[in-house]
Amino acid sequence: MRPQPARVPHAASVAGGMVVAALLAVAALPAATPRIDLDEIEPGMRGVGVTVFSGTAREEFGVEVLGVINNVMGPRRSLIIVRLDGGPLAETGVIQGMSGSPVYFDERLAGALSYSLGSFAKEPIAGITPIGEMVATDATPMQVARRRASAIAFADGDRVHLAAAMRRAFARTEPFAGRPDDVRATGLNAGEAARLGTQLQPIATPVLLSGFVPEVIDLWASAFDGSGFVTTIGGAAAGAATQSNGDGAPLEPGDAVGATLMRGDFAMTGTGTVTMVDEDRVYAFGHPFYNLGRASLPMTRARVTTVLPSLAISSKITAIGDTVGTIDQDRSTGIYGSLGGGPTLIPIDVTLAAADRELTESFAFEVIEDPFFTPTLALTGLLNTLLSWTEDLSSASTLEVTGAIHLRDGHDPIRLHNVYAGNGAALSAAVSAAAPLSTLLGNRFLPVELDRIELGITTRETPRTARLERVRVDAPRPRAGDTLPVTVSARTAEGELIVETVSVRLPRDLTGRVQILVADAETLQTRDASAGRQPQQARSITQLIRALNRTRQQDRFYVQLLAARPGAVVRGQPQVALPSSVRAVLDGDRAGGDVTPLTEATLGEWDVPTGHVVSGSRLITLTVEPAGSG
């Protein structure tokens, strides 16, 4: 049995456009909500919608049917076009966060308020997703997950480039119909129907951010621009818990509801309205959240703290409450889930230590598991941690990142260790955790389940950087099988000279011209990418994990022994010194994409730790004589 808000006589809203603030009454609906079919909807019909304008009290607003439009192309969907009145709508227009508000005619459910004309609309015209389409969508199993964008290819850069990459992932909101000719209508003339069909867009979803510094909020606001999301700032409702303790009434039609992406010390939740509750099944929004298809998001209660009016478009400001279930479908006609326990999220624990101050602090948050959202949210949480912790440090500070990404199903963990310095250190450190997550979750071999992520970050107030100054090989006439002392000299930002020597063993069968390359990690990464030696070339999940664990570190130089021995990267594995007959066979297989030719072979690689973020490269050419010659 589900309570409804008290009804306000229709004449009050029609005659005076008065503000209606009908509070919750004790009347109840039958266990099965009566529904009205789309073909029963006619222009001029009046009905009521239910939503929350303040707190948790469900209130009514008036609706008048203008007509019905159909998109005859693409998804072949329908919208009931209505004009809204009552409540604060005369001043606010359609409010972001009203998505999913149930609309009734003759006490029968018609559907979910879901579309609006967007910013600076002159009157509150809205679209209703028919409840029949919502139920049919939820009942149709989804064979594969859908999404509007794949994982971001994270790379070092500034926040402007990161925001642009995120903005591309959050594709722009599409109108109900792409072309005027795609629209057919009942009760509206063709011109008006075409205009509405191409202008009505899903009501933007407010995404509540809690615990974030202004720089991160601005990053998400830029990423959301034009995408159907809008950032709001808030927090957890009083007494909110991670999981529901079983107290309190279940969700009801018209209640505010949240779809959580991140929770803990930092939180991020999209909010809308419940359309229908059928036993333990919850229908909401009336349009996609992110069009994930199959999903696994915590479903939460929400309390509306206020409605923020705006000439552009008004928005509900909410606080998030207990988790009351799991959202398992994010589809074109709404989000759907079941009441009960929430899903398991991925815990991320971050420990920060200031080496110069003997200070330590820990942060903990959880994120949903998804190829796009997991790395993006991990980056967001880590960047927020660093910016809040290091805001009083010099922009030239140094950050050392260590940690591990733990996997399920017996896979080896991804080990993280790197050092960053300078103005972009915080973002680079955050990317160092997000990039392998993106590669791992976006792999084409098999789904990978994450268990947990543990990160430790040590900050130093001074810029620990060094530049390569000299490379010396103390071997005037090297012979095959010799061990060459290679001395690497680098100068720190303070002028201190760092000198390290590494022993390079020459193979016994090596003769002729060879090269010794000394370079930083970024230089070698660029060379490997051009030669096809990178994680994306892996041919199995095991190879991919191995490649990610071989990621080079920025606090050391690498010494490579190179020789002109033609070979190939075959199914992700370098093969060197191949006979010409084998190379000819492999060349014939290159069209399949499993073979990348190599013009030179890396016969060995050694690392030279320095304790500083290093840069620079040198290439030395030597002639190796046969063993025992001379």
pLDDT digits (tens, 9 = 90+) for 559-575: 999 988 765 555 555 55
Neighbours of 575 (CB within 10 A): 16
Residue 212 domain flag: yes
Flag residues of the chain having pLDDT under 70.
Answer: 1-31, 73-75, 119-120, 141-158, 172, 235-249, 390-396, 531-537, 566-599, 629-630
Indicate whether 482 and 508 sit together in one domain: yes
Element (H, E) at 280: none
In 3D, which of 93, 40, 35, 44 has the Cα closest to residue 275? 35
Residue 78's DSSP bridge partners are 70
pLDDT of residue 286: 95
Domain stop point among 292, 311, 339: 339
Residue 491 domain flag: yes
Indicate whether 273 and 373 sit together in one domain: no
Residue 590 domain flag: no
Indicate whether 150 and 49 sit together in one domain: yes
Torsion over CA of 369, 373, 375 and 377, rounded to 10 degrees?
A: -100
pLDDT of residue 30: 39
Q: How far apart are CA 337 and CA 295, in angstroms?
A: 9
Indicate whether 483 and 496 sit together in one domain: yes
Domain stop point among 301, 322, 339: 339
Number of structural domains, the chain?
Answer: 3
Residue 442 domain flag: yes
Amino acid at 564: A
Domain stop point among 285, 312, 339: 339
* 478: Cβ contacts below 8 Å, ≥ 6 apart: 484, 506, 622, 623, 624, 625
Indicate whether 406 and 518 sit together in one domain: no
Residue 108 domain flag: yes
pLDDT of residue 568: 56
Residue 415 domain flag: yes
Indicate whether 29 and 162 sit together in one domain: yes
Indicate whether 496 and 455 sit together in one domain: no
N-to-C CA span, the chain: 99
pLDDT of residue 148: 45
Q: Phi and psi at residue 20, in whole multiples of 5°?
A: -105, 125
pLDDT digits (tens, 9 = 90+) for 28-51: 343 478 999 999 999 999 999 999
Indicate whether 382 and 283 sit together in one domain: no
pLDDT of residue 6: 38
Domain enclosing residue 483, as ranges = 465-564+600-624
Residue 588 domain flag: no
pLDDT of residue 594: 59
CATH code at position 394: 3.10.20
pLDDT of residue 3: 40
